[in-house]
Structure 1
Amino acid sequence: MTGALGLEEAQARLLALAPLLPLEAVPMEAMLGRYLTGDLRAARTQPPADLSAMDGYAVTPGDGPWQIIGESRAGAPFADPLTPGQCIRISTGAVVPQGADRVLLQEDAWHEGATVAASQPAPPGRHIRARGFDFHEGDLLLTRGARMTPGRIALALAGGHAQAMAARRLRVAVMDSGDELAPDPARCLPHQIPASNGAMLAAMLAPLGCEVTRIGPVADDRAALAAALLQAETADVLITSGGASVGDHDLIKPAVAEWGAETAFWKVAIKPGKPLLVATRGAQVILGLPGNPVSSFVTAFLFALPLVRAAMGDPDPLPRAVTMPAGEPLPATGPRREFLRAVNDGGTVRLAGSQDSSALSALAAADCLIDRPAGAAALAAGEPVPVFHLQNG
C-alpha cells in the first residue's frame, strides 16, 4: 500500500487535470444534460401581460351585472379597454383587458343574452396571473454551471433564449483489455469470460452526454495495445479497464508510457479499486481502471464520472453521500477505505450479496455504495453509515 493516495486527494488531483474544452453555441432544444458556461438572465418578461388563469369572464370593478362586449382568447386579445359595467368572455392564458380587475369563473356566473351576473363573487385580482409574476426582463434565471434539465430548458426558452454556450461534448475512448476476454458472450471458450467492462463503462457514461468510442477488447500484448491506443489519439479522455495492476501481464502502465503519457499518480487506498492509474498525454487524460468488474464500476463512479462532469462544466462534479442506518451488522474493515455494494430497502441499507470484486450478481442488484472508513470496527444494525446512491437499475 506504500504510496497509495487517499480518496479525496486522488479525486482532487484527477479533477485538476480535467481537459479544458472549447465552447460552442448550442440550440436550447439540444442543451439537455449540458452545463451553462455563464449566467442566464431573462431577455423578456413572463408573463408579458396580465393573463387569465381560468376560463370565464373578465369583469370590471363592482358587483355586476355586466354586459358582454367581446372575447379574449389565448393569442387573440380583446383590443379595447373596458368601462364600468362591461365584461368579456375570456379563456385560460388570454390577455386580461385594461379596465378588468378579476376573472369570474364560468361556473360561478350565469348569463342571459348579453348580460352576466355572479352567482359566486370573486375578489379583485382573483384568477389573474399578473404581468411578470414568474420573472421580469433582466432577472437571473439560471447560474453558471447549471445542468440543463427539461424544466430548465423550458425556463430558458420562456426567458427568450434560443441557444446557450456550452463546452464541446467531451470525447471519451473506452478500452478494455485482457487475454481472457471474449468479444462475443455467446461464443466463450472455457478459459475465457465475456468482455463486459467496456459496455458497462460506456453505459455509465451515456447519461452524461459525452461522445463515447469503444475500443477492444485488446489482448495483453504490447503491439496490440500500441495499435489500440492509436485509435484513441483524438480522445480527450481515455478510460482503460484491466492491465493496471502489477502482474507480469498487466501492460497498460508501460504501454501508455511508450505512447507518450506521463504518470500523474498510481494506486488509491480504497477497496475495491486500489490499482488506479492516472496519466496525461498533453491535454489528454488517461484513467486506467482495474479489470475486475466491480472494481472497474466503483472506480468509474468515484473517478471517471466526476472527471467527465468536471470537463463538461459541472462546478460540483463529485458524488455526495447521504446518511442512512445500516439494515444489518457490518464487518470490521481492513487497512483500506471500503465501498460495499448495497441495497436501499426503504429506510435502511443492507449488503447486496458477495463483496468479491468479481461478483456481478451483487453489483447488478446494488443501488448504492456504503462508505466504510479504513480500520473501522464492526458496526451494529441501525448504526448510521454514509451512502452513495447509484443509478444502476
Structure 2
Amino acid sequence: MAKVPPIPLEEAQARLLALVEPLPIEHVDIEGALNRYLAEPLQARRTQPAADLSAMDGYAVTGDDLAGPWHVVGESAAGHPFTGTVASGQAVRISTGAILPAGAEAVILQEDLARDNHHIALTGEAPEPRHKHIRRCGLDFSEGLEVLVAGTRIGPAQAALAIAAGHKHLPVSRKPRIAVIDSGDELASDPETCEPHQIPASNGAMLMAMAGALPVEARRIGPVADTLEALMAAFDAAREADVIVTSGGASVGDHDLVRPALEAWGATIDFWRVAIKPGKPILVARRERTSGPQIVIGLPGNPVSSFVTAYHFLLPLLRRMLGARDALPMQIRTRLGAPVRANGGRREFLRGSWDGESVVPHTIQDSGALAALAASNVLIDRAAFAPEGSIGDEARVFLLQNGGIA
C-alpha cells in the first residue's frame, strides 16, 4: 500500500464538506424543528408589536398635558384595549403590554402618582420623557422582514421568534441517518464480562452520544470482527444510512481492514491520514447510490483519537447535511494557566480544563486515556512545531460542552 502523506486539518474538513449538500427539505412544526437548522430564510408574517404598547404599569395621558392633575376615564389592559380617545386632562389606567389608547403619547409610572377615586396627581418630579415607557409598533420587527437567516439553529429563542413572526411550521433538512460501526476482535460488548485480553466496546456508545446531540437517526452495529467478510456484512447492513462511521481498523496494521473492505464494497477513498494528533489515521470515503451519496468516515480505534476526529469531522459533516450555516466548531482565545511543552510536526489537540480565564492541560495526554478526556471541557489547539508555552501566553481552544456541539 503506497504511503499517503497526511493533509492539513482545514483541507481535510473542506474536502469532506464538499462531498455533501444539505438533505432534502421538509416542513415540521416548531417543536419538531427544535435543534434543527432553518433550510430557508424566514420572513415575518406579522408586525411585532402590532401597535404601540405600554412598557410599564401606569397611566396613559396626552403629550401636551404632563403636569396634571388628570381624571381617570378608563383602563387599557393586555388583551383588553381602551376603545375611546384620551383628551387633555384625562388619563387611562394602563398595564404592561397593553395597547396605548388613541390620543395618548406618554405613560406616567404608577409609583409617581397618587390616586383619589377617579383623580390622579403627581407626587414628585415631572414625568420622564414622554416616549420612554412606550414600545412602538414594529419595534421588534415588521411584516416582510427577514427575521432568521437560512442555516440558523432553532433553539428556544429562535423558536419563540418564529412563532411571534406568525409561523407554525418551519422548513428544515431531513434528519441524517447514521450508522456507527466499531470493529476489533479485542472488543467486548458487555463491559461486565470483559476478559483480560479484551477491552469494553466504548467507542460506539461515545460516538452515538456525540451524534445524538444533533437531530439524527442513529443506529449502532457491532462490535464487528477483524475480518473482511464481517466488515463488508456490517457495511451492507448500513446500506440505507447517509453516513457510516467506523471506529478502529483505519490504520496500516495487518488487522486494519476498513480501507480494503470499503474498496471491495464499492466505495471510493477521498482522503486518508490527516496531520493531527491524536487522530492521524482518519479515512473518508464516498459511495454512490441512486438515493444519494453515502459518506463513510473511518475513525481511529483509540478512544481519544476517535473522539477528537469525530469532533472535527463527523459533527461538521452532520451539521452540513442538516443545513447549518456554520458547520465547523467555534474556537475561542484564552490564556495558558500552566506551561506546555514544545510541539512536534503535527497539529495537536491537548485535553484541558478551562475556567473561563485560563486553560490548563491535563498531565496525561495518551490517546487511550478516557479519564483525562472525560475531565476536559476544551481541546487546546497547538500548531505544528509550536514552541514551549508559558503561563499567560495566548492559547486557542475548542469547547467540548454538549458533546462538542458548543
Give your verdict on TM over 0.5: yes
Q: TM-score when scaled to structure 1? A: 0.95
Asked if the contact 1:35–1:312 (Cα under 8 Å) also holds between the matched residues in 2, the reply is: yes
Residues 6-30 of structure 1 show CA distances to partners (whole Å, capped at 9, x for unaligned) of: 1111111111012441111121232
Give the aligned partner of residue 340 of structure 2: 330
Looking at structure 1, the residues matched to 22 and 76 of structure 2 have their Cα atoms a distance apart, in angstroms, of 52
Residues 280-311 of structure 1 show CA distances to partners (whole Å, capped at 9, x for unaligned) of: 11100000000000000010111111111111
Cα offset, 1:142, TM superposition: 1.4
1:23 to 18, 22, 25: 25
Q: Report which stretch shifted further, 139-148 or 191-200.
A: 139-148
Give the aligned partner of residue 32 of structure 1: 34
Cα offset, 1:392, TM superposition: 5.9
| Counterparts in 2 of 1:127 and 1:253: CA distance versus 1, 3 Å | same
Pair 1:348 & 2:358 matched: yes
Cα offset, 1:229, TM superposition: 1.8
Asked if the contact 2:213–2:402 (Cα under 8 Å) also holds between the matched residues in 1, the reply is: no
Q: Which runs of 4+ in 1 moved over 4 A?
A: none
Residues 296-345 of structure 1 show CA distances to partners (whole Å, capped at 9, x for unaligned) of: 00101111111111111123211233333322222222222211111114
Asked if the contact 2:4–2:272 (Cα under 8 Å) also holds between the matched residues in 1, the reply is: no
Find the residue that maps to 1:74 and give its secondary structure. coil
Looking at structure 2, the residues matched to 392 and 44 of structure 1 have their Cα atoms a distance apart, in angstroms, of 35
Amino acid at match of 2:61: V
Looking at structure 1, the residues matched to 9 and 146 of structure 2 have their Cα atoms a distance apart, in angstroms, of 36
Is there any run of 5+ residues in structure 1 with no aligned partner, and where?
Answer: none
Give the aligned partner of residue 223 of structure 2: 217
Cα offset, 1:4, TM superposition: 1.4
1:115 to 119, 122, 131: 119
Asked if the contact 2:34–2:155 (Cα under 8 Å) also holds between the matched residues in 1, the reply is: yes
Cα offset, 1:126, TM superposition: 3.6
Asked if the contact 1:72–1:95 (Cα under 8 Å) also holds between the matched residues in 2, the reply is: yes
Cα offset, 1:116, TM superposition: 1.8
Looking at structure 1, the residues matched to 33 and 353 of structure 2 have their Cα atoms a distance apart, in angstroms, of 33
1:57 to 46, 56, 59: 59
Q: Report which stretch shifted further, 292-301 or 156-165.
A: 156-165
Is there any run of 5+ residues in structure 2 with no aligned partner, and where?
Answer: none
Find the residue that maps to 1:287 and give its secondary structure. strand
Residues 199-257 of structure 1 show CA distances to partners (whole Å, capped at 9, x for unaligned) of: 11111122222222111121212332222222211111111111111111112112222
2:212 to 206, 225, 231: 206
1:75 to 69, 74, 79: 79
Query: How many residue pairs get matched?
Result: 393
Looking at structure 1, the residues matched to 387 and 94 of structure 2 have their Cα atoms a distance apart, in angstroms, of 70
Looking at structure 2, the residues matched to 329 and 2 of structure 1 have their Cα atoms a distance apart, in angstroms, of 34
Q: TM-score when scaled to structure 2? A: 0.92
1:153 to 143, 155, 159: 159
Looking at structure 1, the residues matched to 130 and 389 of structure 2 have their Cα atoms a distance apart, in angstroms, of 62
Give the aligned partner of residue 232 of structure 2: 226
Find the residue that maps to 1:369 and give its secondary structure. strand
Percent sequence identity over aligned pairs: 55
Residues 33-60 of structure 1 show CA distances to partners (whole Å, capped at 9, x for unaligned) of: 2212222222211111111112222223
Looking at structure 2, the residues matched to 386 and 60 of structure 1 have their Cα atoms a distance apart, in angstroms, of 57
Residues 145-166 of structure 1 show CA distances to partners (whole Å, capped at 9, x for unaligned) of: 1111211111121111222211
Looking at structure 1, the residues matched to 4 and 297 of structure 2 have their Cα atoms a distance apart, in angstroms, of 20
| Counterparts in 2 of 1:53 and 1:392: CA distance versus 1, 3 Å | closer
Looking at structure 1, the residues matched to 388 and 68 of structure 2 have their Cα atoms a distance apart, in angstroms, of 77
Asked if the contact 1:364–1:392 (Cα under 8 Å) also holds between the matched residues in 2, the reply is: no
Give the aligned partner of residue 373 of structure 2: 363
Q: Report which stretch shifted further, 290-299 or 350-359.
A: 350-359
Give the aligned partner of residue 89 of structure 2: 85
1:134-153 alignment, distance < 5 Å: 134-153=140-159
Q: Report which stretch shifted further, 123-132 or 265-274.
A: 123-132
Amino acid at match of 2:395: V
Looking at structure 1, the residues matched to 146 and 269 of structure 2 have their Cα atoms a distance apart, in angstroms, of 43
